[in-house]
Amino acid sequence: MTQDHTEALWRDFPSDWQEFETRFPDEEACRLYLIECRWNGKPRCAKCDGTKVWALRDGTLFECVKPSCRHQTSLTSGTLFHGTRKPLKVWFRVIFELCVHRHGVSSADIQRIFGFGSYSTAWHWMHKIKRAMRRKHPDKLRGCTHLDEALIGGVGHEKEIVVVAAEEGGRVRMIHAPGNHAEALKVVVDSEIGEKTKVKTDGHAGYNKTSLAGRKHDAKVQTKQEKQKNDHLQLMQWMASNVKRWLLGTHHGGVQPKHLQSYLDEFSFRHNRRKTKGVARIVARCLENIVAQEPLTKRQLIDCTHECRYFQYESY
Ligand SMILES: [Zn+2]
């Protein structure tokens, strides 16, 4: 998918519920959209990348015409929709719910609204969609970026460290980190913050030459009184308390540490699109990532998801 094509799809995307319902009334409309989104409208063979394919099974399966290949590629294979037996129409609507509500929705809400037989199915769907709420290779933050750590967790739980990075008046990233020492902070800085970006912190010892790797540093140690008057990192305090309230409110504090990162990605995704003109267009961003990300099975989700996953699996 080219950048231009992605932007064109975004511009033409419905902007509210009414337009969304009109545009995607049935399976066929969703199928055609996904073909646009995944292949610029022209299905390709997943094995040899050939563009000559036969459409089978109502255009949800494509067979390569090359006699030496003959591979069959399904519309959803290799994407986060991999293996789904539910209609795309239902998927589109669940994604809509998760994207447009300011405080998101819980898996229990989705089970109730869509009449899913089990909570576990709704939970699995929600996690697939959360996975599509962060790009595979996100752009780095630019401009003056604030950096701080928040402690998240409830009574009786260990507190989890979350590093919050936010552009002044712009985008935010939250990363569940194994500690607040320089080595951990360096991983977050390298992966999320542009090299020429100025970083504003509270002067905590972990923010040093190693972790900031040459980035300009505005460190200000403030007393409690000074903070009350004019907090240097007010934005960060605000983000941290919002994410805590959201975890306790929408999700009743029931998030396991190993899944915390997914919730942080979801929160950031919506926050970063809070000024989107035409709220339904946020769905377009999610669908882009659905076709770009690898499949996520329930087993992978339960058995192979680890705490602080950006420290173990990403390419840094
Ligand atoms: Zn082929």
Give me the pLDDT at residue 253, please.
82
Give me ligand 1 centre to Cα 39, in Å: 15
Residue that the structure tokens 């080595």 belong to: 183
71 CA → ligand 1 middle, Å: 5
Is 3 exposed, middle or buried, given 0-12, 13-18 or 19+ CB atoms closer than 10 A? exposed
Q: How far is the CA of 45 from the centre of ligand 1 (A)?
A: 5
pLDDT, residue 243, reads 93
In angstroms, what is the span from residue 43 Cα to ligand 1's centroid? 11
CA of 52 to the centre of ligand 1 (A): 8
Distance 82 CA to ligand 1 centre (A): 19
pLDDT confidence bin for 314, thresholds 50/70/90: very low
Residue 118 is inside which H or E element, if any?
Answer: none
Q: Is the pLDDT of residue 235 over 90?
A: no
Cβ atoms within 10 Å, residue 56: 12
**Ligand 1 centroid vs 67 CA: distance in angstroms?**
9
CA of 48 to the centre of ligand 1 (A): 4
pLDDT digits (tens, 9 = 90+) for 37-88: 999 999 999 999 999 999 999 999 999 999 999 999 999 999 999 999 999 9
| 190: helix, strand or coil | helix
Q: How far is the CA of 165 from the centre of ligand 1 (A)?
A: 43
Distance 57 CA to ligand 1 centre (A): 18
CB neighbour class for 96 (10 Å; exposed up to 12, middle 13-18, buried from 19): buried
pLDDT, averaged across the chain: 92
51 CA distance to ligand 1 middle (Å): 8
pLDDT tens track for 152-191: 976 556 789 999 999 988 999 999 999 999 999 999 999 9
Distance 35 CA to ligand 1 centre (A): 17
pLDDT of 263 higher than 60 = yes
The tokens 């929705």 sit on which residue? 105
Alpha carbon of 87 to ligand 1 centroid (Å)? 26
pLDDT confidence of residue 154: 60
- Which two structure tokens, joined as six digits, stand for 199? 């970083």
Integer Cα distance of 49 and 64 in angstroms: 9
pLDDT band at 316 (very low <50, low <70, confident <90, very high): very low
- The Å distance, Cα 49 to ligand 1 centre, comes to 6
Confidence at residue 1, expressed as pLDDT on a 0 to 100 scale? 63
pTM exceeds 0.85 for this model:
yes
Q: How many residues does the chain have?
A: 316
Least Cα distance to 273 among 98, 155, 33, 143 occurs for 98
Q: 299 C-alpha to center of ligand 1: Å?
A: 29
Say how many Å lie between the CA of residue 34 and the centre of ligand 1: 20
The alpha carbon of 247 and the centre of ligand 1 are apart by a number of angstroms equal to 46
d(CA 184, CA 206): 9
Contact 122, 106 (CB under 8 A): no
Mean pLDDT of 212-216: 94
- Are 33 and 6 in contact by the 8 Å Cβ rule? The answer is no
Distance 255 CA to ligand 1 centre (A): 43
CB of 245 closer than 8 Å to CB of 213? no
Task: Note the pLDDT of residue 136.
Answer: 87
CA of 30 relative to ligand 1 center, distance in Å: 25
- Please give the single-letter amino acid code of residue 86: K
| pLDDT over 70 at 212, yes or no | yes
DSSP 87: -
* Ligand 1 mean position, distance from CA 68 (Å): 8
pLDDT (0 to 100) of residue 315: 39
Q: State the distance from the centre of ligand 1 to the C-alpha of 47, rounded, in angstroms.
A: 5
DSSP string, 274-303: TT-SSTTHHHHHHHHHHHHSPP--HHHHHH
